[in-house]
Chains A and B, each alone.
Chain A
Amino acid sequence: MMGRTIFIDPGRCIGCQACVSACRECDSHRGKSMIHLDYTEPGMSVASLPTVCMHCEDPVAPCAEVCPADAILVTADGVVQQADTTRCIGCSNCVNACPFGVPKIDLQAKLQLKCNLCYDRTAYGLAPMCATVCPTGALFYGTLEELQAERPGVQVADSFVFGDVVVSTGVAMVVPAEKVQWPVPGGLPVVEINGVDVR
C-alpha cells in the first residue's frame, strides 16, 4: 500500500484549525493556507473534517491530467506538486477537475496554489507542517504500519467514489473497520453505483 503519507482521521478532529494556521507557516506557500476545514453537520454537531490534497494516484492526479500548460508535476514518490509558477496560466482547469475541491486560484496573480505535501519538509524526513502540529492526531504522517502501531486496529481507505468514477489516492482516510473494503466518499460505504450493487 502507500508509503509515508498523511492519514486523516475525522473522528479525532476538534475543528481547532491548528492545521490551517500551520499550513500558512509552511515555507512552500508561506502566508497562505492550503487546507480546507469543513464542518460536516452545522447546527447538529461539532464534527469537523480537514481536507488536504489527496495526491490522487489512479487516475493519476486529475488536476495534472487536465492542465493545458503541463504545470503540475507529479513526483516519483507520488506527490502532486503545486503548479509551476513559470508555466501556470491560471486557467482554473485543475480547480474544476479536482474531485476533492483542493486547488485554489490566486485571481490577482493568476496562479494556482495547492498543498504539495510540504515538499520542503518531507524531503528532509520531516512531517508536513499540518500533521506535525495537529494537536489530536487527526492528521497523521507516516506509514500505515506506523499508524497501526500507534492506534491498534485502525482501518483506512484510500479509494473514493464520485458518481461512477473511483479515485485512488496517496493520502488515506481512517474509516470504521467494517467500511474499509469499498471506496468511500467521506467515510461512508458505497453500496450501489448507477443502480448496480457493488458490494
Chain B
Amino acid sequence: MTATEPARGASGPGPVPVSLDPSIAPPGTRNFRDAGGIPADRWHADQNGETLVPTHCCFCGVQCGMYLRVDKGGKVFGVEPRNHDINRMRLCPKGINAYQQVNHPDRLTAPLMRRSRDEEFREASWDEALDFTVSEIRRIQDRYGKDAFGLLGGASLFSEKTYLVGKFARVALQTKHVDYNGRLCMVSAAGANKLAFGIDRAGNPFSDILLSDCLLIAGSNVGECFPVMTQYLWGARDRGASLIVIDPRETAIARTADIHVALKPGTDAAFFNAVLHVVVAEGLADEAYLAAHATGWDEVKETVAGYPPARAAEICGVPAGQIVQVARVFAGADRAMAWHARGIEHHSQGVENCLTVINLCVATGHIGKPGAGYGTITGQGNGQGGREHGQKSDLLPGGRSITNPEHRRQICEIWGIEESELPGAGTSMMEMVWQMQRGEIRGLIGICNNPFVSLPNYAVVKEGYDTAEFHAQFDFFLSETAANAHVVFPVTTWAEDEGVMANAEARVVKHNKAQEPPAGVRTDTWVMCELARRLGAGRHFDFPGSREVFEELRIASAGTVNDYYGITYDRLEETGGIAWPCPATDHPGTPRLFEDGRTYHPDGKIHLQVVEWHPPMDPYTEEYPLSLTTGRTVAHFLSGNQTRRLGALVEQTPRPWVEVHPSHGFRNGDPVRVVTRRGSEVFPALVTEAIRPDTVFIPYHWPVPTAANALTIDALDPRSKIPEYKVCAARIEAAERIDEVPEPPTAPGHRAYPETQVSRTDPLPPTAPQGRGTAERS
C-alpha cells in the first residue's frame, strides 16, 4: 500500500494529497504538494504503510478538519493536522487527543446485560441483548401504552443517525417521547432564530469574522470551548476590529478585549435591552433598514425605553458607562457581528436573551452582510444538524413541525405510513426525566448521551432513571448513565463509520471511516434497524449503512427551510462542506443568510420580539447570596465520558474546582463546600480575581460527588425547555476535606487506561486549569 491509497476498510475518498496552509509554507517551499502528496519517507511509509484518512473532529461545533493516521494493520494510531477551510490546520487539545479513544482499552466490545439493577453486568450475545430489549419494549408498551417508552438521542451523532432516531421513535416504537441532548445545548438560540428569522441557524460563516470591524462575544468562553475560533477573532483584530466580551469571568478572550463587561449571571436581557436603549437614545439605529425589513420595531423601542443604563447597571452589576460604550462601539462600527453560546442560552429566559442580541444586530443594521450578522456557536459537533431532521420532540425531518397537518402528511408519505400512526409532539429531555420519576415513562433507550452528568439536579435525574423499569443505552464507553442501564449496546466511534454533521455555520461536512470497528461492535444504524426489524417495522428500516439513510434524509428535507436535497456525499468530498439550504445539486449552498434582505418568514421580514428581563428562577436570599455558574474547561468535552479517559487530557485537568474571588478569604486549594437548594459538594478553591465577587464557577464535566450538576437547578425556559445551568443561588463555606473524583466506570473485565497515571486526589491539577491561578507551587 502506498501513502495515497485508501486505508483498509475505509470508505469515502480515502487519503488525499495535503495542501499546506500558504501562511506557513509559501510557494517555492518544498511541501507535500511539491512532493506529489505525502512524501513516501515522511512517515517511513515504506516500512509502516501508514495512510491518512481525511475526516473531522468528533467534538465541538467548529468541526475542524483532521487526518486520522492509520497503520498498515488498519488501526487508527494518530492524528495529523489538515488544511481544511474551517480550521486551516489548527486543532485544540481535545482534537489532537481524540484519536486515542478509537482503540482505547475501555471500549465496549460486547453487549452488556442484566435483568435487574441488583445484578452485575454480564457480557451477552447480540441476539440475547436485542431480544431482551424488544421483549421489554413490548411488555412496557402493551401494559402502559406506546408513549410509556421513550427515546433520547444525541447531538454528537451523525445527521443520518439523528434522522433514524426520530424515525425509529415514531415508526418502530410509535411513541411521541423522543428528544435529544441538544436540548441542553443551543435550543434557545434555535428558538430565537426561528422567531426572528424563520430559520434556525447562524446567519454568517466563520470567515465573515475576518471581515468584521466589531465583534461582540456574549456568554461564550471561546478560548476554551471553541479554541480554533480564536484564530478568526485574532485575524479580525489584526485588521483593527474591536472586541467586546460579555462574561462574568475574565476568560482568555475577555483578557484581551477592548471592552469586557463582567455582568452578573442571569442579567443578559437587561443588559442588551439597555444597550439598545442607548442606540435608540443616541440616534444610532438604522431606521431605514428597520422600516424596510423588520416588524415590531416600535414595540421593541417602547420596551427598551424602560431600560436606561443606570437601571441596567444596577441589575447587571456593571458600570453604566460600559453599557453606553458597548452601544457606541457596536452601532458605530461599519460591520459588526455578535456571536453567543451557552452563557446567554442556558437560562430560564434563554430564548429571550438571544432575541435581545438579535434585536441589537437588526436595529443597528448589522445583518445579512459580509462581516455583519449573528451566530451561535454549537457545543456539540452536530448541535446544529442534530435537530434538523426529526430527533427533537416537536420536529419532523427537514425542521417540519409535528403539529402541522401538511408537514405530517408529507413525512408520512415519505415514510410510507398512515398519518394516524404518526404520534404527536412529545416533551423535552428534562421533562421526560420528570415523567420517568412520576412513572409516566416506564422504559427508555438512550443513544449517545450521558444525562447522569449532563442534566441539572442530579438527584431528580437519578430517581427518574431508577424508577424506569427498563433502560438501554448505546455507547462506546460505559458512561455513568450506561452503568445504570439494563442493556448496553457497544457501538462505533466516529472514526468507524461515515456520515455528515452540520457545524456552527450550518456547513455540512462529511466524516469518513478510518478503521473497521472492533469485533463485537456495531454501528448505531445497524442496532436501530435491527431493533426495528425485531419490532416488526423492518420494511421501514432497510438501511445497509449511512449512505442509504442520507439519500432518504435528502429527499425528506427537500423543499423545507432545512433543505439538504442538493447536498450529496460526492459533493461534500469535493467541496469540503456545503451550507444549507441547498435545494439543488448544482446549488452552491448558502453560507450567508439574508443578503437579499429577506428572511424565511412568509412576509420576508425580520420579526423583532419584545423582551422584558426577569430574574433567574432560583432566588437569592441571605442563605444563598451568590450566583453559581458552570461551564467547560478546554481539556474536556461535555459529560467527560470520552475525555476523562484520555491520559493527556486527564493530566491537563484532572478534576473540577470552584473558582472564587479573593474577597471570600480562601486560599488556593482550600476545601470549599458549595451549597445550593439541591445539595452540596466540596471542591478545591481556585482563588482568582478573574471572577466577580458575587459569583462562583464550577466546570461541569465530572459525575457526583464532584458534579456541578448535582447543584444546578432544573428550571426550564418555557419556550426552548433548556435548563437554567448558568445561574442558581448558592453559598460557599469552608470544608474539611475535598470530595474525591471518581474513576470513570468500566465494563467487567476491562481496565482503566494505562496512560491515565494521575493521582485523582490531588488538591489541584499540576498545572493551572484553563490558564488560571493555581496552587502555590511550594
Measured CB to CB, the residues of A under 8 A from B are: 11-18, 20-22, 24-25, 27, 37, 39, 41-48, 124-127, 129, 131-137, 140-142, 146, 150-152
Is there an interface contact between A18 and B24, defined as CB atoms closer than 8 Å? no
Residue of A nearest to B230 (CB): A136
Tell me which of A22, A43, A134, A142 has the highest count of chain B C-beta atoms within 10 A of its own C-beta. Answer: A43
Q: Does B735 contact A (CB under 8 A)?
A: no
Q: Does B238 contact A (CB under 8 A)?
A: yes
Is there an interface contact between B231 and A25, defined as CB atoms closer than 8 Å? no
Is there an interface contact between B770 and A18, defined as CB atoms closer than 8 Å? no
Q: How far is the CA of A44 from the CA of B689 in the complex (A)?
A: 5
Interface residues in B8-41 (C-beta closer than 8 Å to A): 20-21, 23-26, 29-32, 34-35, 39
Number of residues of chain B lying within 8 A (CB) of chain A: 60
Is there an interface contact between B32 and A124, defined as CB atoms closer than 8 Å? yes
With A125-B30, A152-B238 as contacts: A39 and B96 at CB distance below 8 Å: no
Q: How far is the CA of A25 from the CA of B66 in the complex (A)?
A: 14
Interface residues in B636-680 (C-beta closer than 8 Å to A): 648, 652, 662, 668
Is there an interface contact between B93 and A46, defined as CB atoms closer than 8 Å? no
- In the complex, what residues of B have CB within 8 A of residue A16's CB? 92-93, 223-224, 227, 252, 634, 771
Select one of B24, B87, B224, B230 contacting A127, CB under 8 A. Answer: B24
Is there an interface contact between A133 and B96, defined as CB atoms closer than 8 Å? yes
Is there an interface contact between B93 and A20, defined as CB atoms closer than 8 Å? yes
- In the complex, what residues of B have CB within 8 A of residue A135's CB? 87, 90-92, 227-231
Residue of B nearest to A37 (CB): B767
A65: shortest Cβ distance to chain B, in Å? 30
With A11-B256, A44-B773 as contacts: A39 and B767 at CB distance below 8 Å: yes
Is there an interface contact between B771 and A46, defined as CB atoms closer than 8 Å? yes
Q: How far is the CA of A47 from the CA of B256 in the complex (A)?
A: 9
Q: Does B484 contact A (CB under 8 A)?
A: no
- In the complex, what residues of B have CB within 8 A of residue A47's CB? 255, 771
Q: Does B294 contact A (CB under 8 A)?
A: no
Q: Does B753 contact A (CB under 8 A)?
A: no
Is there an interface contact between A126 and B93, defined as CB atoms closer than 8 Å? no
- In the complex, what residues of A have CB within 8 A of residue B652's CB? 17, 20-21
Select one of A14, A24, A25, A142 contacting B252, CB under 8 A. Answer: A14
- In the complex, what residues of B have CB within 8 A of residue A48's CB? 252, 771
Measured CB to CB, the residues of B under 8 A from A are: 20-21, 23-26, 29-32, 34-35, 39, 42-43, 78-79, 81, 87, 89-93, 95-97, 223-224, 227-231, 234, 238-239, 250-253, 255-256, 634-635, 648, 652, 662, 668, 687-690, 767-768, 770-774
B453: shortest Cβ distance to chain A, in Å? 22
Q: How far is the CA of A13 from the CA of B256 in the complex (A)?
A: 10
Is there an interface contact between B231 and A42, defined as CB atoms closer than 8 Å? no
Q: How far is the CA of A39 from the CA of B81 in the complex (A)?
A: 26
Is there an interface contact between B231 and A15, defined as CB atoms closer than 8 Å? no
Q: How many residue-residue contacts, CB under 8 A, span A and B?
A: 162
- In the complex, what residues of A have CB within 8 A of residue B97's CB? 21
- In the complex, what residues of A have CB within 8 A of residue B767's CB? 17, 37, 39
Q: How far is the CA of A12 from the CA of B255 in the complex (A)?
A: 10
- Given A16-B223, A133-B81, A133-B91, 15 additional A-B pairs, CB 8 A: A12-B230, A12-B256, A13-B252, A15-B768, A16-B93, A18-B90, A24-B648, A25-B79, A42-B768, A43-B687, A46-B252, A124-B39, A125-B31, A126-B20, A135-B228
B699: shortest Cβ distance to chain A, in Å? 14
Residue of B nearest to A127 (CB): B24
Is there an interface contact between A18 and B250, defined as CB atoms closer than 8 Å? no
With A14-B223, A42-B772 as contacts: A131 and B24 at CB distance below 8 Å: yes
Select one of B23, B79, B250, B256 contacting A150, CB under 8 A. Answer: B23
With A17-B634, A17-B652 as contacts: A141 and B24 at CB distance below 8 Å: yes
Is there an interface contact between B23 and A22, defined as CB atoms closer than 8 Å? no
Q: How far is the CA of A129 from the CA of B89 in the complex (A)?
A: 10
- In the complex, what residues of A have CB within 8 A of residue B21's CB? 127
- In the complex, what residues of A have CB within 8 A of residue B239's CB? 152
Tell me which of A16, A41, A47, A132 has the highest count of chain B C-beta atoms within 10 A of its own C-beta. Answer: A16
- In the complex, what residues of A have CB within 8 A of residue B95's CB? 18, 133
- In the complex, what residues of B have CB within 8 A of residue A25's CB? 78-79, 96
- In the complex, what residues of A have CB within 8 A of residue B770's CB? 15, 46
Is there an interface contact between B635 and A151, defined as CB atoms closer than 8 Å? no
Is there an interface contact between B43 and A17, defined as CB atoms closer than 8 Å? no
Select one of B227, B255, B771 contacting A18, CB under 8 A. Answer: B227
Q: How far is the CA of A151 from the CA of B767 in the complex (A)?
A: 31
- In the complex, what residues of B have CB within 8 A of residue A13's CB? 252, 771
Is there an interface contact between B23 and A146, defined as CB atoms closer than 8 Å? yes
B497: shortest Cβ distance to chain A, in Å? 24
Is there an interface contact between A21 and B689, defined as CB atoms closer than 8 Å? no
Is there an interface contact between B31 and A124, defined as CB atoms closer than 8 Å? yes
Q: How far is the CA of A192 from the CA of B238 in the complex (A)?
A: 33
Select one of B34, B42, B634, B773 contacting A39, CB under 8 A. Answer: B773
Is there an interface contact between B231 and A136, defined as CB atoms closer than 8 Å? yes
Is there an interface contact between A136 and B234, defined as CB atoms closer than 8 Å? yes
A11: shortest Cβ distance to chain B, in Å? 6
B734: shortest Cβ distance to chain A, in Å? 19
Residue of B nearest to A120 (CB): B42
Is there an interface contact between A12 and B96, defined as CB atoms closer than 8 Å? no
Q: How far is the CA of A110 from the CA of B176 in the complex (A)?
A: 65
- In the complex, what residues of A have CB within 8 A of residue B648's CB? 20-21, 24
- In the complex, what residues of A have CB within 8 A of residue B229's CB? 135
Q: How far is the CA of A24 from the CA of B649 in the complex (A)?
A: 12
Q: How far is the CA of A24 from the CA of B224 in the complex (A)?
A: 20
Select one of A17, A131, A136, A137 contacting B93, CB under 8 A. Answer: A17
With A11-B256, A39-B768, A132-B81 as contacts: A142 and B24 at CB distance below 8 Å: yes
Q: How far is the CA of A150 from the CA of B29 in the complex (A)?
A: 18
Is there an interface contact between A42 and B35, defined as CB atoms closer than 8 Å? no
Q: How far is the CA of A152 from the CA of B43 in the complex (A)?
A: 36
Is there an interface contact between B89 and A133, defined as CB atoms closer than 8 Å? yes
A20: shortest Cβ distance to chain B, in Å? 7
Tell me which of A21, A47, A140 has the highest count of chain B C-beta atoms within 10 A of its own C-beta. Answer: A21
Residue of A nearest to B254 (CB): A46
A115: shortest Cβ distance to chain B, in Å? 17
B128: shortest Cβ distance to chain A, in Å? 41
